[in-house]
Amino acid sequence: MPADHLPPASSGGAAPREAAPGEDERLAAFDALIAADQRIEPTDWMPPAYRKALVRQMSQHAHSEIIGMQPEGNWITRAPSLKRKAILMAKVQDEAGHGLYLYSAAETLGTTRDEMLDALHSGKAKYSSIFNYLAPSWADMGSIGWLVDGAAIANQVPLCRASYGPYGRAMVRICKEESFHQRQGFEILLALMNGTDEQRAMAQESVNRWYAPALMMFGPPDGESPNSRQSMAWKIKRFSNDELRQRFVDMIVPQAEILGVTFPDPDLRWNEERGHHDFGELDWDEFHAVLRGNGQANALRLAKRNAAHAEGAWVREAARAYAERTATSERIAS
């Protein structure tokens, strides 16, 4: 029977039923929640494009945390003292935890951890450009903490207010930990800058290498950022890439003065009129080359990640077997 010949829902004497909300009504309810700065939760209806945008950003973010363990993890055995080793181990473990919160939060959107990891391991998924740079000196542990975690905080504090509940809530704890990470990086550099000429030179050389890549972590300039507008309209992102980059530069310049290091940018100066620091154009060709897989360490990072996953297969199998056995004994007991 054609749809327009169907009897009305209230026919047959039954009490009239409320019609299930149509697409327009659900979209209006979603828009109203966003407009009122309310959170969207996993069981709420959401536009498929919103879900897709979140899976994209959250899974990339999770991958960044996990791949980001490598440059510092590589220094744990070579840390210059027991204290430094203990701090570095704790930091790298924190990053693993951040990855796990974010994968769990992304799973609430209906994507599986295996799907996300497959995309990472096959090289299809993106992760932050910054982790495709090598960290050849101990001072790099300072620069990563100060500049990389510092940029991560500048980017992530506004994400604590992201419209998607599980993402925003995961970010609160992550930001608290990142703040400790940034201080420990700053303190490593401070110790080096208070050391010998050789140590000061090591710190400065490291800062020279990490400054521009850290600024690129905020993503392409606003005019070339295809996702920003919609993401800001949905209140996933609260500020644009350039706004956050500017905020970060304004934050690190006085910190660099305390450390006694300089940044490798001849155009970096205070602009009284704007009330911000001006800074030079970044090398966006380098950024895109890194995203295409041609950075210093893309191949190395992916190979290590794949090897670690393969070596961990027995742990996953054991955990699965244990879960099955526990479930069976619970069934027998009940």
Return residues touching ligand FAQ (CB under 6 A): 56-57, 60-61, 64-65, 68, 95, 126, 128-129, 144, 148-149, 152, 155-156, 216-220, 225-228, 231, 237, 241, 291
DSSP three-state, residue 236: coil
Tell me the closest approach of the beta carbon of residue 237 to ligand FAQ, in angstroms: 6
**CA 254 vs CA 57, 243, 250: distances in Å:** 31, 18, 8
Smallest distance, ligand FAQ to C-beta of residue 282, A? 11
Cα diameter, the chain:
92
Residue with smaller CB distance to ligand FAQ, 199 or 225? 225
Q: Rank residues 65 and 200 by Cβ distance to ligand FAQ and give the closer one.
A: 65
Contacts 24+ apart (CB under 8 A), 189-198: 189/139, 189/142, 189/143, 189/146, 189/259, 189/261, 190/258, 190/259, 192/139, 192/142, 193/259, 193/260, 193/261
With beta carbons less than 8 A apart as the criterion, state whether 181 and 145 touch: yes
Pairing of strands 276-278, 269-271: antiparallel
Nearer to ligand FAQ, 119 or 291 (CB): 291
Shortest distance, position 294 Cβ to ligand FAQ, whole Å: 13
User: Of 231 and 246, which has the nearer Cβ to ligand FAQ?
Assistant: 231
Do the Cβ atoms of 261 and 204 come closer than 8 Å?
yes
- Shortest CB 149 distance to ligand FAQ, Å: 5
Cα distance between residue 128 and residue 262, in whole Å: 25
CB of 14 to ligand FAQ, least distance (A): 50
Q: In the bound complex, which residue of the shown chain has the CB atom lying closest to ligand FAQ?
A: 68
> Which CB sits closer to ligand FAQ, 142 or 220?
220
Residue 204 vs 241, nearer CB to ligand FAQ: 241
What is the smallest separation between the CB atom of 257 and ligand FAQ, expressed in angstroms?
23
Residue whose entry in the numeric block shows the structure tokens 């800062």: 207
